[in-house]
Structure 1
Amino acid sequence: MVQLFLVMHEPLGQAFQACARHVLGVEPGLTVVDIPPDADPDTLVAELVSRLSGDMNQQTLILCDIFGATPFNIANRARKLVTDAGGNVCVLAGANLSMVLKALTDPSGSMSERYQRASASAVRAVANPDQPAC
């Protein structure tokens, strides 16, 4: 089983969690780490590493909102530290609600397969159906 973390600009992770609860009708199985604007990245990296290191056999997929932004950088630094210690963590940026829902509702397959399906779902959700270029 792959555990799911949302590491995003505050309050986006909690908003995605609330949307998932609304759509699915149940409490979504995920961990939210919203990053406030005045956060100390080093402290949050250490806290995230601690949370991710609880069970080194656990596979973890971390979804972030923006590649290269502070939440992504915190998640990616934590990923490197946990992976170097033998953990199995992947980070995927560019999250939208479609990606979050796919990651929550499509639990089958390997971490790599779930990563690919969540990524593909996010891309499919960006659409301009039957409209000329704007």
Structure 2
Amino acid sequence: MIQIILASHGQFCLGLKQTVEMIAGKTDYLETISFKPGQDPDNYRDNFEQVLKSQNDQPTLVLVDLKGGTPFNTAMYLKQKYNLELVTGVNVPMLLSIVTSRTAKSSISDLLNICLNNENWGIQNSKLGGTHHAKLSLN
């Protein structure tokens, strides 16, 4: 089964994993690597690499919070050496779609298609029906 690594600033990735497991149940092959406040980026990279080394060159999907941050830059650096694909902007609906669709036969391409399908992003403008109860005036 394809390994998934959640990488983020602070505890965001842990919260994502806990939330998805509250909804979908215990999820195997789902790791978190938090970049902690004050942590040395080289130390973070070493921790990240230890997780990747344990994969024995199996494909890994890395989902990060933000393009350009240390988790993203670290994954991009390690992508030169390890078999991984990287997607930024991870959120609960995306991760939930991935873990509930992933099977032992899923390829890394299958999981990338799920990630990049905007129906799995969970972004929409929701409005109440009928009359609004409050009106904001900017005057």
Contact 2:5-2:32 at 8 Å conserved across structures: yes
- Tell me how far apart the structure 2 counterparts of residues 22 and 55 of structure 1 sit (CA, whole Å): 26
Name the larger-Rg structure: 2
- Tell me how far apart the structure 2 counterparts of residues 16 and 44 of structure 1 sit (CA, whole Å): 19
Instruction: State the identity %.
Output: 24
- Tell me how far apart the structure 2 counterparts of residues 130 and 80 of structure 1 sit (CA, whole Å): 45
Normalising by structure 1, report the TM-score. Answer: 0.82
Gaps of 5+ in 2: 129-139
Normalising by structure 2, report the TM-score. Answer: 0.79
Deviation at 1:94, TM superposition (A): 0.6
Using a 3 Å threshold, how does the CA distance of structure 1 residues 35 and 124 change in structure 2: closer, same or farther? closer
Deviation at 1:46, TM superposition (A): 2.1
Deviation at 1:130, TM superposition (A): 6.2
Using a 3 Å threshold, how does the CA distance of structure 1 residues 63 and 122 change in structure 2: closer, same or farther? farther
CA deviations on 1:76-121 (whole Å, 9 max, x unpaired) are 2122222xxxxx2111101111111122111143202211212225
Using a 3 Å threshold, how does the CA distance of structure 1 residues 120 and 8 change in structure 2: closer, same or farther? same
Q: 1:120 aligns with which of 112, 117, 120?
A: 117
RMSD: 1.9
Confirm whether residue 59 of structure 1 aligns to residue 59 of structure 2: yes
Confirm whether residue 110 of structure 1 aligns to residue 113 of structure 2: no
Contact 1:8-1:64 at 8 Å conserved across structures: yes
Q: Secondary structure at the match of 1:81?
A: coil
| Equivalent residues, number | 125
Confirm whether residue 7 of structure 1 aligns to residue 2 of structure 2: no
Confirm whether residue 90 of structure 1 aligns to residue 89 of structure 2: no
Using a 3 Å threshold, how does the CA distance of structure 1 residues 122 and 66 change in structure 2: closer, same or farther? farther
CA deviations on 1:62-85 (whole Å, 9 max, x unpaired) are 100001111111222122222xxx
Which has the larger share of helix? 1
Deviation at 1:28, TM superposition (A): 2.1
Confirm whether residue 71 of structure 1 aligns to residue 68 of structure 2: no
- Tell me how far apart the structure 1 counterparts of residues 118 and 15 of structure 2 sit (CA, whole Å): 19
- Tell me how far apart the structure 2 counterparts of residues 57 and 19 of structure 1 sit (CA, whole Å): 29
- Tell me how far apart the structure 1 counterparts of residues 119 and 13 of structure 2 sit (CA, whole Å): 16
AA of the residue aligned to 2:90: A
CA deviations on 1:10-36 (whole Å, 9 max, x unpaired) are 110111111012111x22221011111
- Tell me how far apart the structure 2 counterparts of residues 67 and 124 of structure 1 sit (CA, whole Å): 16
